[in-house]
Amino acid sequence: MSHKRNTEGLKRHAEHRKAQTAKKVDEAIQRLVKNKDRINFNSVAEEASVSKAYLYTNQEIRQRIENLRKQQEGLPSARQVKREMTDASKDAVIAAKNKKIKELEDENKRLKEELQKLRGKFYDSLT
């Protein structure tokens, strides 16, 4: 007696898992693009919670990641843009603080002179 194995359920389950994993990778790539993050095999694998080996062996996904990575070449990363913005705004912040310091020094000087006059008036009223 030989039993015929029913593997249809296993095949359907494997196909379902394959589709779910591909969907996870696609959604991860979309999130990375939306957030303007770097797209490479490491970032996609981490975002999608899949192995890099999976990304490399799936030719369609591999080609998509390589194309997106090539498109991003030469574009500044979000970190670089932020650093440049910070460097550019430092001068403005320093200028604003210097102006505020000057205003406070002038006010301090005026208040000291006013205090000296009031002390003089108070001293004159005592005598």
- pLDDT of residue 112 exceeding 80, the answer is yes
How many residues are there in the chain? 127
74 vs 95: CA distance, rounded Å: 33
The answer to whether 66 and 55 have CB atoms below 8 angstroms apart is: no
Q: What is the pLDDT of residue 62?
A: 94
Question: What integer best gives the mean pLDDT of the chain?
Answer: 88
Three-state DSSP state, 80: helix
The answer to whether 43 and 65 have CB atoms below 8 angstroms apart is: no
- pLDDT of residue 52 exceeding 90, the answer is yes
- pLDDT of residue 78 exceeding 70, the answer is no
Domain ranges of the chain: 8-75, 76-127
Please enumerate in sequence order all residues whose Cβ is within 8 A of that of 119, keeping only pairs 6 or more positions apart, or say none: none
35 vs 115: CA distance, rounded Å: 58
What is the value of pTM for the model shown? 0.54
